[in-house]
């Protein structure tokens, strides 16, 4: 009898432990789910005035129109330049880009400046340059001006969804990447998109600075900056991107099919948006290739190294967990 009582007590004790452990696990999972929901992102819907563009005609008069929703005017390459208070840096980038585009793709290109709520007159400055310095035709340079800041990812998303070209490139306003290397990306993407049955595959070409890790451009960076860079790369690898060495280079090109497969589904509007772009591309089996590009450090970054690095690490975890938990859906438009 005593033996039976002891066995019964042991069973009850084990059952209680199992119940407690199960309760803790369920509570933990629910807590994680709630935290991910609270910190997850949803792109802000554009205001009506943000669905229009402004361009300059040959006399300098400003023209406003509705943003396109698809390819127009036989444009081959659209260059989207996310910009926030860039009057001090964007001239060099535009000069290099326009010089290249005029030679490589005459009359078959456009530049779309997406002004992310600047307070320094970036939009007016670019429109003035279009007429007075570059003597551009109407619509060769268009400006989309945000009423409120959305973040670099929001600017890139809006810009690429409204380009007229067959291919879309986003390039940083600082001109850190050598613009003529866009030809390398274009050549690569044209190879990636080919199929034997005539179908065009979705494809993207990813500018990469990974080959420069041991060069003077990186070595001269501060110890803290390099530590943060390597720590971030490790975190990216842990959270599932193993095949791309440089996820953050602001020089990426997409064909129209890839734009349609990625950007309507992009949630993230902050600095970490590149990661979600690549996760969506990998998830959807979009063809891609990492292309080494020339790059140099440019002063005047709007990124706060310490604070924004922490935000990016947090957002990276949230993005990955949101897809794992089904909070984000790669096939549901935002």
**E strands, the chain, where?**
52-56, 62-66, 77-83, 109-115, 141-145, 167-171, 203-208, 251-255, 287-292
pTM, two decimals, is 0.88
Task: Report which of 243, 257, 275, 131 is spatially closest to residue 189, judged by C-alpha positions.
Answer: 257
Query: 172 lies in which domain range?
Result: 48-324
334 within domain boundaries: no
User: Is residue 49 pLDDT above 80, yes or no?
Assistant: yes
Whether 241 and 268 map to the same domain: the answer is yes
**Count of other CB atoms within 10 angstroms of residue 64:** 10
Q: Considering the chain, what percentage of its residues have pLDDT values greater than 90? A: 66
Q: Are residues 30 and 115 in the same domain?
A: no
Residue-wise pLDDT for 277-326, tens only, equals: 999 999 999 999 999 999 887 877 776 666 777 888 889 899 999 999 99
Strand order through the sheet with 167-171: 62-66, 52-56, 141-145, 109-115, 77-83, 167-171, 251-255, 203-208, 287-292
Same domain, yes or no: 183 and 61:
yes
Name the helix (H) or strand (E) containing 14: helix 2-39
Average pLDDT of every residue of the chain:
89
pLDDT: is 126 or 60 the higher one? Answer: 126
Q: What CATH number does residue 260 fall under?
A: 3.90.550.10
Kindly report, residue by residue over 182-236, the tens digit of the pLDDT: 999 999 999 999 987 888 999 999 999 888 766 655 545 556 666 766 677 777 7
Residues 79 and 31 in one domain: no
Is 333 part of a structural domain of the chain?
Answer: no
Statement to judge: residues 80 and 13 lie in one domain: no
Average pLDDT over residues 105-132: 97
Asked whether residue 127 is domain-assigned, the answer is yes
Total domains in the chain come to 2
Please determine, for residue 29, whether its predicted confidence score (pLDDT) is greater than 90: no
Residue 227 CA to residue 309 CA, distance in Å, equals: 11
Mean pLDDT, range 123-127, rounded to an integer:
98
- Give yes or no for a contact between 294 and 177, defined as CB atoms under 8 angstroms apart: yes
Q: How many Å is the Cα radius of gyration of the chain?
A: 24
Q: Beta partners for 81?
A: 113
Q: What pLDDT shows up at residue 205?
A: 98
The answer to whether residues 35 and 144 belong to one domain is no
């Amino acid at each position: 009898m005593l033996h039976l009582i002891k066995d019964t007590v042991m069973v009850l004790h084990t059952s209680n432990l199992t119940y407690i452990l199960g309760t803790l696990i369920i509570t933990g999972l629910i807590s994680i789910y709630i935290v991910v929901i609270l910190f997850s992102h949803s792109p802000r819907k554009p205001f009506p005035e943000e669905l229009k563009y402004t361009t300059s005609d040959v006399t300098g008069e400003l023209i406003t129109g509705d943003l396109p929703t698809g390819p127009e005017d036989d444009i081959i390459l659209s260059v989207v330049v996310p910009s926030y208070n860039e009057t001090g840096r964007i001239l060099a980038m535009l000069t290099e880009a326009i010089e290249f585009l005029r030679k490589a793709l005459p009359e078959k290109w456009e530049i779309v400046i997406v002004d992310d709520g600047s307070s320094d007159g970036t939009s007016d400055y670019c429109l003035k340059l279009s007429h007075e310095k570059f003597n551009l035709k109407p619509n060769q340079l268009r400006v989309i001006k945000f009423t409120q800041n959305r973040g670099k990812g929001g600017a890139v998303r809006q810009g690429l969804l409204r380009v007229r070209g067959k291919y879309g490139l986003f390039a940083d306003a600082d001109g850190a990447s050598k613009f003529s290397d866009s030809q390398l990306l274009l050549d690569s993407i044209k190879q990636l998109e080919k199929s034997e049955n005539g179908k065009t595959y979705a494809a993207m070409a990813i500018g990469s600075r990974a080959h420069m890790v041991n060069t003077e451009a990186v070595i001269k960076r501060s110890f803290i900056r390099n530590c943060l860079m390597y720590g971030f790369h490790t975190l990216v690898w842990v959270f599932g991107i193993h095949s791309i060495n440089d996820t953050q280079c602001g020089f990426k090109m997409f064909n129209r099919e890839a734009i349609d497969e990625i950007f309507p589904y992009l949630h993230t509007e902050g600095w970490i948006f590149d990661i979600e772009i690549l996760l969506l591309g990998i998830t959807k089996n979009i063809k891609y290739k990492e292309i080494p590009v020339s790059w140099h450090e440019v002063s005047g970054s709007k990124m706060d190294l310490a604070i924004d690095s922490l935000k990016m690490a947090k957002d990276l975890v949230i993005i990955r967990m949101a897809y794992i938990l089904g909070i984000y859906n790669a096939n549901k438009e935002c």
